[in-house]
A and B are shown apart, each in its own frame.
Chain A
Amino acid sequence: MDVVRQAHLPGNYELYDEESGGLGPPICKFCWEKDHARNTSSLDTVWLSLDGWNVVWWVCKGHHAGMGTGDPSMIILKSETSLVRNPMIGK
């Protein structure tokens, strides 16, 4: 049975099989936090600065398109239109 768990990449979520301990695919951060929806389809990877923190988020294309508008504390540094499972973070 897959459950949603905190991913090791801070601020992100992924599916997890409790019986086997196996990791499933990541899910869109915003779909989960806003609606508890397990959206695993076609995720993008976004590197951003948020309140001085450098973070990397996995988000769906719909939420990616809306990021960075109206929030001066959020600066998008770069993005990939694909899932980067182990992204290197900028220092």
Chain B
Amino acid sequence: MMEEKLGPGQVWGKKFVVYAALGVPKVDPLKWRFKIDGLVDAPQEFTYNQLTSLSQVISKRPAQCVTRWSIRDSEWEGVPLKALIEPSGPRPEAKWVMFHCEEGYTAPVPLSDALSDGSVLAFKLNGKPLSAEQGFPARPFIPDLYLWKSAKWVNRMEMMENYRDGYWEAYGYHERANIWEEERFKGMHGKAVRRTALGTA
């Protein structure tokens, strides 16, 4: 089944490894706002209650980290990103989305991946509200991209014409990060895995 497919070069892990490169922010859901702006005709701003009152779906796909562990049976529950992006009217030149987060983390993803089936703005993981370590109050989940693109503590989605590095991309991680093409590092094209200057094979 598609939802249990392991990405190339990945191994199943037992538990999530929790990363918080810039720390775990404490977010008050009553004060938190989620914005959609940039190259859109109708910028939007939502409260937590507004978003969680919208129709929710479950995206059951593995979480797959670029450091080669994957977690099966992860159920990400939230609003399809498509249902948030399309009403904002992204302009034709918009090709990338930058996720901005509470603690300053950023992650760019292709707009086409954000709009794909299974991509959600998640508020729950495996039936429970996201924990603080997993990104409460919200994080996108984009099933075909490595997990660093599913940015925790997100508060803004900026539509862009041109690619810009986010936090991890500045360290050499891939611009798009497609799991099935094993796009782990910049300079790795398609499935050609070579030893890079980063010292990884």
Contact = CB atoms under 8 A, between A and B. Distances in A.
Interface in B39-78: 65-69
A55 B197 CA distance: 9
Contacts of A89: 170-171
Interface of B is mostly: loop
A77 interface: no
Nearest to A88: B170
A34 B131 CA distance: 39
Given A11-B198, A86-B22, A91 B16 contact: no
Q: How many interface residues does chain A have, given as a range?
A: 20 to 34
Interface string A2-32: 0001111111100010111111000001000
A48 to B, nearest CB: 10
B18 interface: yes
A91 B165 contact: yes
Interface of A: 5-12, 16, 18-23, 29, 33, 50-57, 86, 89, 91
Closest CB pairs A-B (n = 3) = A21-B15, A11-B199, A11-B198
